[in-house]
Amino acid sequence: MKKSKEFTENIIKTEYSEVMQRSYIDYAMSVIISRALPDARDGLKPVQRRVLYDMHELGIKFDKPYRKSARIVGDTMGKYHPHGDSSIYEALVVMSQDFKKGVPLVDGHGNFGNIEGDGAAAMRYTEARLQEITQSAFLSDLDKDVVDFIPNFDETEKEPSVLPVKFPNLLVNGSDGIAVGMATSIPPHNLGEVIEATKAYMNNEDISNAQLLRYVKGPDFPTGGIVTNKDELKEIYETGQGKIKVRGKVEIEPQKGGKTNVVISEIPYPMIGANISKFLSDIASLAESKKTQDIVDITNQSSKEGIRIVIELRKDADVDNFVNMLYKKTRLEDTFGVNMLAIANGKPEIMSLKQIIAHNVEFQFEVTRRKYTTLLEKETEKKEIQEGLIKACNVIDLVIEILRGSKDRAMAKACLVEGVVDGIKFKSKESKIMASQLKFTEKQANAILEMRLYKLIGLELEALINEHEDTLANIFKYEDILDRRDSMAMVIINELDDLKNRFAKKRKTVIDNVEEAVFVENQIEEMDVVFLMDRFGYAKTIDVPTLERNYESAIAEYRYIVNCKNTGKICIFTNTGDMHTVKVMDLPFGKFKDKGVPIDNVSNFNTEKEYVVSCESQSRLNLFKLIFVTKKSMMKVVDGGEFDVTRRTISATKLLDDDEVISVSALTDQKQIVLKTKDGYFIRFGIEEIPDKKKTAVGVRGMKLGLKDDVESAFYLTTSAEPVVTIDEKPFDLYRVKLSRRDGKGTKIRL
């Protein structure tokens, strides 16, 4: 009992909601800080930082042979990033792709994917090494204690918390990532422009975002293109959020015979990958749907040299209007959503252009301070040893006498440091007196004891004195850098200039204000057509004279025949109570013998779950009401205007459980309705007994059904139509059914 009581007393009682909230917040912050968002200082996500550092540790430098990507991925995963090899390899691949990154950080050898969306080869086939700029600007000073090192996941290794990047990489290479409840999307920029903006900020920290835009013109996408909303960039870079409109570059090439080729040589950055094939299929769809009849041929001639998509136009085509159509109807003009979110001071923050530069500059001062503090310590230590050696050379005979007269190293060192002469044999009293006055430091004494005899050569001594003078000059220089912010700023600016001279490239993206594309659609001549759909769900349209010539064949072959306009829509009612709309223009128009297209190809119709109950022209629905009948005998009349909608699919009626629609008919001159059940019961009553309802209503019961019995068919009696119908391949006169009231049991009739 005592043991049980102690156990009970150790139970911590807490609210389940509090535990869940705390756990979710911990998880969210882990994803935000340790996975998805870049650091504002080096512009890298943790996985990118770890891959680069691991390559640095493995010695895979730009002037060394390539190493297998699998080796890099495995080493990174085992030491620093235990989150699966696919995420590590993906980070390695992206950092090598010059069509995604403004400045690639990895030099990939092999198939690392392409701009059209083809993925990289497996990591066992590809090789990689660091780019020269990565070594120079990201990893060069890690041995100088410029950043803090933290334990890895199992505390067996140390890794840098941030890389000492020498320029605002967050701007140059951009970033994208989705965290928990937030996402980042930063476009890439031109390295030279960003460096100039950084220098401008360092010279005047009160500079505004608008003034910085004199240096950073806007994003510089690796794919080129044209930014069309230049005037909006000021607000975007001020707030860190907004939408950048970017177009592809189009060139017009005249051809023989009056034809013209529209050549797309640069694409919008968001089109990278599978969106190129989507763009090509969208152009083909424009031709198939007759939005344009100017296209003769489309060829994708893109290669490693760049993008080249050629659209051959017919003679006398309106080229300007066609290009505007591409901007309006395809992704040749697209939007890049900007959300400049990054980790700053340990927390996510949306930053302006100036704030990003400011964070990096402050980081540069911190890195430079730590670098030159380390260098100063080394030079000061070197100076101490050099002074000791020079002093020792001046009294070298005495030093040799001390070494020869000492019994061991400790005795000699004690004499050099503290002047202890006990036990040492000297040649003269003068030597003993001079030895007792020696006051070398510990480090100097060790250096003297380890000094080789060749150092006594005259040239070596002269070199030592020259080296000492260089050391004194370095100490003066380093102290000046550490004491004066202006001197430190000049060092940073010189490094930035060096990086610009070595690695900056010309801008690819044009920044301009461009008027919105205006596309004038060719007006389609409205005409009467006939919609045909067979029992297999294949649909097409033909003209009215063709139907008149083949009327009997059409009646025999097609289940639904609907007169409509070529500019209208067809409404398809299904057993599930849904209504799908199809644009008539989306259906093939042609000959009577043409097969047509499956109706599910041009609508949301699901052939596995539903079947067609009725088809009507949407324009005709506005003129009539519709009668709905379900297998559970629920009925209603709905105004056709409720189905004049723009959505492709809506719920046409509400159904009870295990119920489905069996009939939808336009209410014209029907006087009475006859319902037949699968058990052979019939009921006939007047149409006026069916109430008007909304499409969201279930309706009223038409007849009482027996156990497991369902309504199978609905027939209508009119003043003009023949009352005889065919049931089970036998003629049946509907007037055989006794006229009664709605909601009766009906009469069982043998056919």
Question: Beta 612-617 vs 569-574: how paired, if at all?
Answer: antiparallel
Compute the CA torsion angle 612, 617, 621, 627 (nearest 10 deg).
Answer: -30
d(CA 742, CA 700): 9
Tell me how crowded residue 553 is: count the other CB atoms within 10 A of its CB.
12
Could you tell me which residues come within 8 angstroms of residue 375 by beta carbon, excluding any fewer than 6 positions away?
144, 474, 478
DSSP character string of 688-710: GGSPB--TTS--EE-BPPPTT--
d(CA 125, CA 680): 72
Q: For residues 300 and 284, is the Cβ–Cβ distance under 8 A?
A: no
Residue 3 three-state SS: helix
d(CA 158, CA 161): 9
d(CA 108, CA 95): 9
d(CA 141, CA 151): 19
Q: For residues 721 and 711, is the Cβ–Cβ distance under 8 A?
A: no
Could you tell me which residues come within 8 angstroms of residue 477 by beta carbon, excluding any fewer than 6 positions away?
none
**CA 245 from chain center: how many Å?**
17
Phi-psi label, residue 335: left if phi above 0, alpha if psi -120 to 50, beta otherwise: beta
Question: Beta 260-266 vs 309-313: how paired, if at all?
Answer: antiparallel
125 catalytic residue (yes or no):
yes
d(CA 749, CA 751): 6
| Active-site option among 125, 551, 611, 735 | 125
Beta-bridge mates of residue 254: 260
Q: For residues 687 and 667, is the Cβ–Cβ distance under 8 A?
A: yes
Residues with catalytic roles: 125
